Amino acid sequence: MKRLIMVLLGLSGLLLACSPGRADFLDEFPGPPLDPGWRIWNPDSTHWSLTARPGHLQILTQFFASTGGTMMNDFYHRESMPGDWQASARIVASPDSEGQAAMLFAEYDSTNTSMPNGVVTFGNVIGAGWYVAGAINGGVGGYAAYSDTVIYLRVRAEGGTGFAEYSPDGTSWTVLHDGAFPSYWMSGIYAANMEVLGATPQTPPMAANYDWFHLVTLTGVEEKAEVRGQRLEVGIMATPNPFVSFARVPGHENERFALYDVSGRQVGTYKGDRIGEGLAPGVYFLKGMGNAGAAPVRILKVR
């Protein structure tokens, strides 16, 4: 699945303008203007919009030849992202013609010119119909049939290993492929009619609607264990984060947790296997019951 982007030398001024150091970027595409954290490689304003489907970034696919082609409207984002991290997106699309595809990608190598180091794709492959596929470092990736118009894509890295994953609901994730991913450089989204998947110059455009994109460090999400007297308090981590229906706290499913909104008001208590169920989308803070000294864990519920 070739993605022929030129080396981004000469764009250093633009890259430095991206908001460095936040290590947590969420864009729910509320409307114009485009968040300044984004940059577009080969922009074509006639084929993307924040108003065509309100609350989404819509990219209309264009033909991308396997050799010598130009990927239009390649949205990428730079953050200071030390340690473990994940980039995820929720997409609404109907790849009804061969070659139409919407993608989430991540890179660690600024000299990479032929393929993203990590990519997850939802599209229509010649002779196979709707599918989702993922690959890390250009290896022989994983593939699965897919029939819904809503999909969640994710690339994450933990301990130097990258994982290309998908989910139908944002809660249960399937790993399509994994491989070495030593660091973070950039990530983003793009959509195209891919010749390598069966598209031709006559393939009609597909509307790839990105509902949100989230780039977050995982290292900072987990509470750090610390010694208080002779007691070692074990850190907790909520997953998935962000989530749609509810999150879990692995290893603490039967314990109870308090949840607070951004104003500090407690909004409920939950067992560790169904955190945030029934709440409206928003930012919340999670703390173990009876563990007043521990720092809260920030979690995000999305549409």
CA distance 99 to 4: 16
Bridging pattern class, strands 48-49 and 282-288: unpaired
pLDDT score for 83: 86
- Judged by DSSP in three states, 177 sits in strand
pLDDT score for 291: 53
175 close to 165: Cβ distance less than 8 angstroms: yes
pLDDT score for 197: 94
CA distance 239 to 248: 5
CA distance 235 to 261: 21
CA distance 301 to 241: 8
Note the pLDDT tens digit of each residue in 168-207.
998 889 999 999 999 999 999 999 999 999 999 999 999 9
pLDDT score for 114: 67
pLDDT score for 4: 35
Question: In sequence order, what DSSP letters do the residues of 20-56 get, joined into one string?
Answer: TT--EEEE---SSSPPTTEEEES--GGGEESTTTTTS
Question: In sequence order, what DSSP letters do the residues of 113-167 get, joined into one string?
Answer: -SS-SEEEEEEEETTTEEEEEEEETT---EEEE---SEEEEEEEEETTEEEEEEE
pTM metric for this prediction: 0.71
CA distance 189 to 200: 22
* DSSP-derived secondary structure letter, 247: B
What are the residue boundaries of the structural domains of the chain, listed by start? Answer: 12-217, 226-301
pLDDT score for 29: 94
236 close to 255: Cβ distance less than 8 angstroms: no
40 close to 69: Cβ distance less than 8 angstroms: no
- The pair of structure tokens assigned to 238 is 């909520």
Maximal CA-CA distance, the chain: 70
pLDDT score for 221: 43
Query: Residue 54: how many CA atoms within 13 Å on its side-chain side?
Result: 0
131 close to 123: Cβ distance less than 8 angstroms: yes
H or E segment and range at residue 59: strand 57-60
Q: What are the φ/ψ torsions at residue 92 (nearest 5 degrees)?
A: -115, 120
pLDDT score for 294: 57
Q: How far is CA 176 from CA 73, 115, 166, 213, 285, in A?
A: 26, 17, 8, 20, 31
Residue matched to tokens 């470092």: 137
pLDDT score for 7: 27
Residues of the chain with pLDDT under 50: 1-22, 221-234, 292-293
CA distance 95 to 145: 13
Q: Could you say which architecture CATH assigns to the domain 12-217?
A: Sandwich (2.60)
pLDDT score for 16: 30
